[in-house]
Structure 1
Amino acid sequence: MRQRFIRALELIGVLALLSIETLLVVQVVARLVFSISLSWAEELARYSHIWLVFVGAAVATCWDAHIQVDFFTAFLPKGALRQLRLGVAVLGAVFSSLFFSSAVLLISQLWATQTASTGMPFPVFFMPVVIGGAFLIVAFLWSAMILSRSREAVAESSVANSSAERGGLP
């Protein structure tokens, strides 16, 4: 189930990246070949980028691929390292929950406003922030659950394990 969750997030990220590329190519071709400026293409590409960032943050959390400074943790015993990583996962879930609730509050306040070029309601484009926050909560809680059940310092979601399973680079 966890792998399906990660694969679904990866698919959303790939679709967001493809939409960015497609929209920008269409914008360039329309401007250079047909001398037409599509005001909505750049805005939609920007919103697709927002989707990519927030979904990508959840994927990086699932892979344990966020930037980490491990100079001091390299000297910790395995039990202390596991407890530290568990604490970081719990704190990540807490801060993601605060982020999520703030995003929901923002959307509720912006319900009547519209975007400049597309005329769509702003909450439609802030949904990736809410959904990405929810994905981050799930990813951090999943990591905390794995760490709390594991006797080893490195979680099953670590870059080393996931990249070996995936056959790719971390």
Structure 2
Amino acid sequence: MSEIGWLVSARAALSRMARAGLWLSVMLLIAIAVLVAGQVVMRNAFSIGLHWADELARWFGIALVYLTIPYLLDRSAHIAVEILPNRLKGRWRMAVLAFSELAVATFAGLSLVAFSAFLERAARFRTPALELPNLIFYMPAVIGIALLGAIAVTRALILLGGKEPS
């Protein structure tokens, strides 16, 4: 298999993971709606406050954002300024698009380094209501950023190989 063929296969696997993240995000959005509605019903109908429901909904909200971002990059559905690449042709266009993807990958790498430094100190602490370790609480964000970086790198390599990611 050629180098580009291998990259396309790797990107297809990453695409499937991104799609799984999207479907998980949809389920999390449904769970957030159920949690919020359930909390309102319990508070108004039974005078019972669910102190953990807000924190769980917040965690699900963070997770759904970070697990959706890789899917958006994979589908080129994120916000992008394309004035320059749209005016260029051939190798210059590919180079500018690859540079953009590598910038996203660099952002993802720096974010992972920052998460690592943050979690070295914060991992031993727990969330107030659910008492989840911070390592678990922030893991969806770490997974989403890592997948974002991997997709950006494969897209950049495909572009540098002379093909546009589909």
- TM-score, normalized by the shorter chain, greater than 0.5: yes
CA distance in 2, matches of 1:28, 1:49: 18
Shift of 1:2: 4.2
Cα deviation digits, residues 91-114 of structure 1 (max 9, x gap) = 211220110121122112112212
Unaligned runs of 5+ in 1: 157-170
Shift of 1:85: 0.6
Backbone CA RMSD of aligned residues: 1.7
1:22 is matched with which residue? 34
Question: Of 132, 149, 155, which aligns to 2:165?
Answer: 155
Three-state SS of the structure 2 residue aligned to 1:33 is: helix
Question: Of 61, 65, 68, which aligns to 1:56?
Answer: 68
Structure-1-length-normalised TM-score: 0.82
1:84 is matched with which residue? 96
Question: Of 109, 131, 144, which aligns to 2:156?
Answer: 144
Higher relative contact order (CA 8 A, sep 6+): 2
Maintained 8 Å contact 1:39/1:117: yes
2:6 is matched with which residue? none
2:23 is matched with which residue? 11
Shift of 1:77: 1.9
Cα deviation digits, residues 28-78 of structure 1 (max 9, x gap) = 111121111111101110010110111111111111111122233332223
1:2–1:127 Cα change, 3 Å = closer
Unaligned runs of 5+ in 2: 1-12
1:95 and 2:104 aligned: no
Shift of 1:146: 2.6
Three-state SS of the structure 1 residue aligned to 2:82 is: coil
1:66 and 2:88 aligned: no
CA distance in 1, matches of 2:14, 2:140: 21
**Relative to total residues, which structure has the larger helix share, 1 or 2?**
2
1:131 and 2:143 aligned: yes
Maintained 8 Å contact 1:100/1:129: no
1:166 is matched with which residue? none
Cα deviation digits, residues 124-150 of structure 1 (max 9, x gap) = 211122111111111111211332234
Maintained 8 Å contact 2:21/2:71: yes
1:114–1:5 Cα change, 3 Å = closer
Maintained 8 Å contact 2:105/2:152: yes
1:117 is matched with which residue? 129
Number of matched pairs: 154
1:58–1:2 Cα change, 3 Å = closer
Q: Which shifted more, 111-120 or 29-38?
A: 111-120
